[in-house]
Structure 1
Amino acid sequence: MLPKPSRLARAVQLCLLLALPATAAAQDASPAPATPDTRTLDAVQVTGTRIRRAELEGQVPVHTVSRADIERSGLTSIGDVVQQLTGSGSALNTKFNSSGNFGFPPDGSGVGAGSAQVDLRHLGSKRVLVLVDGIRWVNESSASGVGAATDLNTIPLAIVERIEVLEDGASSLYGSDAIAGVVNIITRRDFDGAQVTLNYGEFDEGDGASKGVDLSWGRTTDRSSLFLSLSHTDQDVVFARDREQSRFPVPGTGVALGSSGIPAGRFMVRDPNTGASLDLVPNAGVTDPLYNPAQTGCTRTDGFHCFGLADRFNFAEYNLLLTPSKRSGAFGQFRFDISPELQWYAKALINRRESTNQAAPEPIFLGPEGATGNPLADNITISARNPYNPFGFDLVSGDSLILVGRRPLEGGARVFEQKVDTQYVGTGLVGSFEAGNSLWFWDVNAAWSRNKARQTNRGSYNIFNIALALGDPDACAAVAGCVPLDIFGAGTITPQMLGWIQPLVRDESQNELRLASANISGDLFRLPAGEVGFAAGYEFREYKGWYQPDPLTVRGHYNGVPSLPTAGTYDVNEVFVELDVPIFGEGVLGKSLNLNLAGRYSDYSTFGGEFTPKYGLRWQVADDFLLRATYAEGFRAPSIGELFGSDSRFDAQLNDPCTEPFLDPSLAGNCRALGVPAGFQQPNPQISITTGGNPALDPERARSFTTGFVWSPWFAANSSWADRFDFEVTFYRHDIQGPIQALSAQTQLDLCVRTLDPTYCDGIGRAATGGINAFNNRLTNLGSIKTDGWDVDLYWTLPENAAGRFAFSWQNTFVGRYEAVGGAGQLQPRRPGIEVEDSAIPEWASTAALDWTREAWNASWTLRHVSDLVEDCGRAVTFPVCSDPATATNRLGSTTFHDLQAGYRFDWQQGLTLTAGLNNVFAKDPPICLSCSLNGYDASTYDMPGSRFWYLRADLRF
């Protein structure tokens, strides 16, 4: 689809206006002749600038993860590698069993089950731009929505040469999504010969095995280079029940915080004959559990007992601690020098990810307190004529029926299987020419990429068929296949009943990206202090995305998380210009001072135009001391899911402030005003939240500032104690206005109860019994997000001696402030040192690594440290696992993980290297998290509970 002519014309005209003066200046000026060794198509271009000049390295803080760094980690996923950077925040990975009740987050993207994402500066994965060789990568597809972030599991680790991470706003250079930074994955290119890499690892408990094989082959000649790669990675499952910390919903609480959807069924009813309110559970092994209305106490003789904490269901033992994943990929790129000044390239990738998530058997919640948001369940009537109904009267929702919570173990666990196929094709020309005695570089590129996902869900239920089977038997008999359903007791559902109520659910989604770009870079003219560098370019992108749930879901018959189809498309035309202006050269003020200016104009089909500037200073005070600072404005365009996402639902674990005995006495009056009766106890902590897209959303707008220095002391270079000694300090600050988000559901509920303000309460409905039965939580542009902090890094390489060569690196991130404010000025709970909503912002994150090499030997020791955190105990405040019941908070102590690796290189063929490693050497447990949704810990911040992971790798080159 071509862009609209009028918009394309405006973009081209603006590009010409930017470029023509620069070209004229280049032709009229008389710059110094370019030196011969700079005339190459491979001139240095680093992430963070579009100007191809090697001396610009250091203009902005860029962290480089080399191939050696990747191999030292022992990891097999790009996402896992990047998530270990100290500046990374909480993001999805394969330790998240993100299925079932996770549902659809407010941004319409789906849960991204099986994916691995990257979050920089704790600003969210959708605010990080992922590039591959400088070209945008397509957003993820999870078969549960239209994603707004990149799934790094769609890129094989085997093809990576290095990863460059720019932790600074870069919208002026790269466009939307680069608010928090840029991850640029550089692929392997110049390669001669072949390489086979085999790896195997597992946890010391004997589970979670990871197996992989990578095959690479390349050939480089005077005029061409070819690189081909095949890779396969197979990661096995680890069950939550196999670790002490994760086998209960909250460690140290048993089943007290388990689900009220239980195998025997929980029945909250009101007897229309006596008016008695009952909360009953059928006794185990009772063959005739006929209800006797005369028995209203908790000591019963009618086959029932009153529901208590011991009846709650332990859903945790069905969860996965590490999700299984298989990834297979093929990649190739070819480059050919048509002439010394012109090169053509082509590259292609295909990748298949097969992953699985599992949740406990799906509960069937019926009645107004079920809070499913599905009227078939919330407004159900269970007929007195149902042959299995023991109560002898109709159970009418909102009258005689308050809640049914039945979890059929007969139907097995919910299993979600994903297949995600990624295709990428790109081609382009790279060239150079001389104009006015200055060397210019140019490139034109075109790329197409697509992620398509299919998800199969086994173990869920058809609520329409359930309602029919629980209703009038005559109505059921009139429908082919329908049989009356028995939900009154454990093990009562027969295979014939399951055949009627249990479907196979299939969902699909797709994201597609088409782009074309043209760039030029060179020196405009010479000033007394040096050459004025210049870069400009044009880019066109078209995004398409859709999500198609199973027809059962579209009809509203799915018992699980409901959703409707989503589809959308938009395109953007962009032009940019960048200048590097030397202010002064070597003199009394130092070696040099350069001013960097950049600006980008983006014209979106969805909301119009946006201009983002950037300003930078680079002051080389001395050969060994560099000062730098940048100020950038940025924006993030609303994604397809955020704009066009249809109504859907996710389930949140919420603590109703009106529940007793946890009710704050000062809020009792407000609870009564909301219709909550005295003595109310929240029957189901899982509350269904209805959400959806908003086509009226505005872009997020951001301001970013960084400043710092790099010091490489002259007295350390080539000294007796150091070959290299670099000390880097960077201060960063990000300010996002109008972030696209929904108010935290727990925050909205707390503010409603505390203030009774319609701003918060209008979207929350309650049943006559006081329980929440509706919760509307929509996307909008809210308030602001502000964060700042420091990066402090040290790199020290010692001279080689008889003991070998030692290299030490120490990277640190200190978060000084993180403040998220809602649209009405309410402060969100996330801030430094706090664990909330399955994510943490440590005040200090640190990684130290010591490397040693001697002849054919190599070894490394790595320490990964996370400072302590504090969380709200919630309902676990009465349990010993809450470290400070007096303040209702739990302390997650500071944690340090140790990793060890050693290897030996044999002189066989072109080299055979054998490597052995052990991650989490001391089997350090992550701190217990009471507020985390699953498995008792924060899976985006810590290693898995109580597990060493050992691995072996063989790398043969020939």
Structure 2
Amino acid sequence: MKVLHRHKLSLTIHALTTALVAGAWAMPVLAQGDRSGDDTTKLEAVEVTGSRIKKAELEGQTPVVTISAKDIEATGLGSIGDVIQRLSVSSSSLNTKFNSAGNFGFPADGGGVGSGSTTISLRNLGAKRTLVLVDGLRWVNETSGSGVSAAVDLNTIPASAVDRIEILTDGASSLYGSDAISGVINIITKRKQEGMSVGAYYGNYSIGDGETTTGNISLGGSTDRLDFFLDISHFKQHRISSGDWDQSSFPTPGAGLAGGSSYIPYTRTIFFPDDPTNTYGGLCPRPVDAQGNPTGPARCNIAANGTTNGVQPFPGGFHRFTNADRFNFAPYNLLLTPNERDGLFGQARYKVTDNITWYLKGSYTTRKSVNQAAPEPIGLGSALNTSDLGLVTGVHVTNPYNPFGVTLDPNSNFAGLGRRPVEGGPRVFTQDVDTKYFATGLEGSFTAGDRDFYWDANYVDSTNKGTQTVRGTYNIAHIAKALGPLAACQADPQCVPLNIFGGPGSITPEMLNYISFIEKDTSENILEMLTANLSGDLFDLPAGSLAFATGYEHRRQEGSYTPDAIVVAGEGNGVPSLPTSGDYSVDEYYLELNIPLLKDLAVAKSLELSVASRYSDYSTFGGTTNNKLGVRWQVNDDLTLRGTWAEGFRAPSIGELYGAPARFDASISDPCNGATGQAAANCIAQGVPDPANFEQANPQISTRTGGSLDLEPETSDSITAGLVYSPSWAHDTGWSSKLDLELTYWKIKLEDAIQAPDAQTQLDRCVATNSPTFCSGIVRGSSGDIVSFNNTLRNLGRIDTRGYDIGVNWTSPEWSWGTWTAGLATTYTDEYESVATDTGLAEPLTVGVETTDRAIPEWRTTATLGWAVESFSARWTSRYVSSLTESCNPDLTEVGAVCSNPNADLSGGTNHLGGTTFHDVRVNWKLPVDFDFTLSAGVNNLFAKDPPICVSCSLNGYDASTYDLPGRFSYISANLKF
């Protein structure tokens, strides 16, 4: 770990001058209108997201998206995370449509896979660069079955307890500290309610099951001194099988079995016969040159014909392995993962005196979620191993089911064996996650002289703890013993010799009992925090009062991941991993000033400057200072110009720093497959014996992932500039009650970005150049197959991104036939570029490109049209995602996989994902009864639009982070208040 010393506070003056000269003006995305007038003086002094100063006039100073509880209900979604992911400012991130629970391994980001979670990414910078607050205070990070996450699971916050969500789309490290590089999600909870409320909801998809039910009961009340709110909620979402949709019923759309797995239920074996010239009648051919002359020994790449018991005879019981033998694992997967959550949330506020309030807040959420994958394959040898021990495991000649009459030795005649024991059933990953949150504190105000001051002191203690239980996994040490010398197996009363060479049914229940075990992995994140804040007016200036906010925060974060003891011992057949644990603490001090410069002039109704600075002292890195400047120029009642410049900072997370070495099975196309020319020469130099006849045995190439203590913090600079126009000529007229037009330009430059290089790109560059810059860490076995690929985290380089947000909001007058509203929210991403420092080369992810479950569309747009009259209301919503392009896998293009623009020689190409629009409709009816009773019904994806085909995505043939599930989702809900 390196000590960081960045940006002394004195640089603020220089930065202020620069910002004023540059004239960077900004506006809020989807903010409420800015017709300030005299009414603002009547508002209560409050703290809004984007400023620590409690003052009514500051509301709307920063670019903030506000989502009310009614807006959340109108989406027909049961998770606030799903709601935020639909916003135009949001981008690809994890949700419950993802079915990976670590069966692919441990991603290089160090955070593992938060199965069952929903996280949020702003500005395409990832969830770990978006800070999540609840009532202005940090929320604990999620747990994971495969690492220590740096993101918050929004599903741990019950939607029924949320009053509104404020999303700051601007860098805010000077105000809130680390992680707020791309923005801040501030979830404001309900403080009080009069009486009781009961809500119920039922929804279902037109494809498969996916039945979703929710319910909540809330109770609240108020006295002269006490406000309280209590909410009990339940959420249950059923599964949808991948086999229920044609597009997801095969691993790669259009490729059929050719896109399937090489781990098959009938056993695939790759070995070299004792006699290098014996081809067994063509069953085990020898590679030849262009003239037909043999260039190497015979090589058996064979599949068993299949028997359910006994010995599979060789060679008569085997045939040459072809794509027709591959296994279709897709139907075992899930399109939608089951998720059940129960939540208890409550808070109370008691006025100790007229000026001091004590509050108490608690939340408990328990979740049970499930992911499912095809039966776990058993892989041995350098070509097909599924574990470290499997790399050196063969089959002894005395194994009673060995058909070859020789020992298959990975050090000599044996390259690989793959068998998928369907007898053991699918892998089922069950997550049990508990989230506990406790906060208490005092808030108050006092008057000194003739000025009001506001203060608060807060304590937070929160834990997120999860256990992932895996059924359908195997003990490779037991497999090795059951395939080893018969005498050694018989010496162990528990050992049962394993018949790995037959077909489904050849592995008996007794064999399964010996090689199976139930895996249990645990993960925990702990957050403990103390904060204190003070704000008010210092003195008067000609244009108004100079306001300030200052405060202190102490934060301690601790995280751990503990795999099952069998996995730690290296005896798990699945993904190997080791324990991870770590902690750090930070002390922070901040100061924010709001300086009125001009007021009530011809060229400026008001001109204000905001300055903020935060000093952070980390136990892991030392000190850093981050600054922010903002300008708000209200030209007149109609037009406001705004701008911010901010420094950002993100300390490496616990998973990124301390993450133990692990593995990720990436779907990678090996450029050495059938390579010719210079590529073939480079492949030979790298250890591929015969590139022209070579094929990587398994398209899932294992990469080594993990954290690094050498990581430095990320730093950033961000700018927003824009305007909000609320014309008086559209205010209270015959056709318009209100019209707001908004435009924002945003730009973020991130330095020392913590990430791993794209593995496919690195391998392509390695084969193309044979340079140690790209080839270091890539190791091939004697067969030419990749057996080791280092893809651990580093400070890769910089990320530059910029774009525009456009917003239009209109409200009609109250006509006799109803009131109409219309809204448009659009984000246009003009640039996204990630460049490695050491090579100066760009990573493949950029605007308009899809790369393995992550996309950056050029345009994301949401348009709404609403109508309300008396007891009825309705809303129509259209959500648009612009077209994308992805690279086609050259290994699958020639066998018919979807590729809209293939190369002439079928060596890959590009696939076009067309622009996609989803339409949602909702109606509400407030019944004419003595109590408040509302019925609602709606359909999301009204026209059953299918998401576009994605051939590079890991599962189900589409990008679950960008698009809706196929089919309609219909729902009905009822809400009763009394």
TM-score norm. by structure 1 comes to: 0.94
Distance 1:693 1:206 in 2: 40
2:864 pairs, out of 849, 859, 869, with 849
Q: Secondary structure at the match of 2:892?
A: helix
Q: 1:455-491 deviations in whole A, cap 9, x for unaligned?
A: 1000011001000100001111122310110000212
2:410 paired residue number:
397
Structure 1: tracts of 5 or more residues without a match: 1-6, 19-34, 296-301
Q: Secondary structure at the match of 2:730?
A: coil
Are 1:90 and 2:92 matched, yes or no?
A: yes
Distance 2:99 2:234 in 1: 22
Q: Is the 8 A contact 2:312 2:401 kept in 1?
A: no
**What's the offset of the Cα at 1:39?**
10
2:469 paired residue number:
456
Distance 1:817 1:842 in 2: 11
Distance 1:391 1:909, change over 3 A: farther
Q: Secondary structure at the match of 1:465?
A: helix
Q: Secondary structure at the match of 1:561?
A: coil
User: Aligned partner of 2:304: which letter?
Assistant: P
Are 1:537 and 2:578 matched, yes or no?
A: no
Alignment of structure 1 residues 382-531 onto 2, 5 Å: 382-491=395-504, 492-531=506-545
1:550 pairs, out of 561, 564, 567, with 564
1:585 paired residue number:
599
**What's the offset of the Cα at 1:881?**
2.0
Q: 1:485-506 deviations in whole A, cap 9, x for unaligned?
A: 0000212100000001010000
User: Aligned partner of 1:670: which letter?
Assistant: N
Distance 1:288 1:512, change over 3 A: closer
2:263 pairs, out of 261, 264, 280, with 261
2:636 pairs, out of 622, 633, 636, with 622
Q: Is the 8 A contact 2:381 2:390 kept in 1?
A: yes
Q: Is the 8 A contact 1:98 1:114 kept in 2?
A: no
1:672 paired residue number:
684
Alignment of structure 1 residues 196-345 onto 2, 5 Å: 196-205=198-207, 207-274=209-276, 275-285=297-307, 291-292=313-314, 302-345=316-359
Q: 1:847-877 deviations in whole A, cap 9, x for unaligned?
A: 0011111000010100000000000011332
1:951 paired residue number:
971
Are 1:136 and 2:138 matched, yes or no?
A: yes
Q: 1:157-195 deviations in whole A, cap 9, x for unaligned?
A: 110011100111100000000001000000011310110
User: Aligned partner of 1:279: which letter?
Assistant: N
Q: Is the 8 A contact 2:201 2:971 kept in 1?
A: yes
Q: Secondary structure at the match of 2:728?
A: coil
2:954 paired residue number:
933
Q: Is the 8 A contact 2:737 2:811 kept in 1?
A: yes
**What's the offset of the Cα at 1:749?**
1.1
User: Aligned partner of 1:889: which letter?
Assistant: T
2:935 pairs, out of 900, 911, 914, with 914
2:33 paired residue number:
none
Q: Secondary structure at the match of 1:520?
A: strand
Q: Is the 8 A contact 1:45 1:53 kept in 2?
A: yes
Q: 1:39-72 deviations in whole A, cap 9, x for unaligned?
A: 99x6222100111112112211100011111011
Distance 1:287 1:343, change over 3 A: closer
Distance 1:517 1:100, change over 3 A: closer
Are 1:693 and 2:710 matched, yes or no?
A: no
Distance 1:724 1:445 in 2: 39
Distance 1:880 1:640, change over 3 A: closer
Distance 1:319 1:203, change over 3 A: same
**What's the offset of the Cα at 1:747?**
1.7
Distance 1:159 1:170 in 2: 26
**What's the offset of the Cα at 1:288?**
6.8
2:167 pairs, out of 165, 168, 175, with 165
**What's the offset of the Cα at 1:952?**
0.4
Distance 1:424 1:289 in 2: 59
Distance 1:832 1:398 in 2: 47
Q: Secondary structure at the match of 1:365?
A: strand
Distance 1:870 1:267 in 2: 37
Q: 1:219-244 deviations in whole A, cap 9, x for unaligned?
A: 02222101000000000000000111
1:739 pairs, out of 728, 738, 753, with 753
**What's the offset of the Cα at 1:401?**
1.0
Q: 1:218-277 deviations in whole A, cap 9, x for unaligned?
A: 002222101000000000000000111100001121111111000001011111234521
User: Aligned partner of 2:798: which letter?
Assistant: S
Q: Is the 8 A contact 1:869 1:893 kept in 2?
A: yes
Q: 1:385-420 deviations in whole A, cap 9, x for unaligned?
A: 000000000000142111101000000000000000
Distance 1:49 1:720 in 2: 37
Q: Is the 8 A contact 2:631 2:642 kept in 1?
A: yes
Q: Is the 8 A contact 2:378 2:385 kept in 1?
A: no
Distance 1:322 1:665 in 2: 45
Distance 1:176 1:287 in 2: 60
Q: Secondary structure at the match of 1:58?
A: coil
Aligned length: 915
Distance 2:642 2:365 in 1: 40
Distance 1:876 1:806 in 2: 51
Q: Is the 8 A contact 2:40 2:57 kept in 1?
A: no
1:896 paired residue number:
917
Q: Is the 8 A contact 2:380 2:394 kept in 1?
A: no
Q: Secondary structure at the match of 2:468?
A: strand
Q: Is the 8 A contact 1:417 1:455 kept in 2?
A: yes
User: Aligned partner of 2:922: which letter?
Assistant: Q
Q: Is the 8 A contact 2:605 2:634 kept in 1?
A: yes
**What's the offset of the Cα at 1:756?**
1.4
Q: Is the 8 A contact 1:371 1:774 kept in 2?
A: no
**What's the offset of the Cα at 1:450?**
0.4
1:368 paired residue number:
382
Distance 1:36 1:900, change over 3 A: closer
Are 1:876 and 2:888 matched, yes or no?
A: no
**What's the offset of the Cα at 1:624?**
1.1
**What's the offset of the Cα at 1:883?**
0.7
Q: Is the 8 A contact 2:40 2:56 kept in 1?
A: no
Q: Secondary structure at the match of 1:840?
A: coil
Distance 1:569 1:910 in 2: 52
User: Aligned partner of 2:649: which letter?
Assistant: F
Are 1:571 and 2:595 matched, yes or no?
A: no
**What's the offset of the Cα at 1:341?**
1.2
Distance 2:647 2:378 in 1: 49
**What's the offset of the Cα at 1:515?**
0.3
Q: Is the 8 A contact 2:672 2:679 kept in 1?
A: yes
2:22 paired residue number:
none
User: Aligned partner of 2:327: which letter?
Assistant: F
Distance 1:633 1:287 in 2: 67
Q: Secondary structure at the match of 2:729?
A: coil
**What's the offset of the Cα at 1:694?**
1.0
Q: Is the 8 A contact 1:103 1:649 kept in 2?
A: yes
User: Aligned partner of 1:318: which letter?
Assistant: Y
Distance 2:870 2:633 in 1: 40
Distance 1:221 1:470, change over 3 A: same
Q: Secondary structure at the match of 1:145?
A: coil
Q: 1:818-838 deviations in whole A, cap 9, x for unaligned?
A: 000113212100001000021
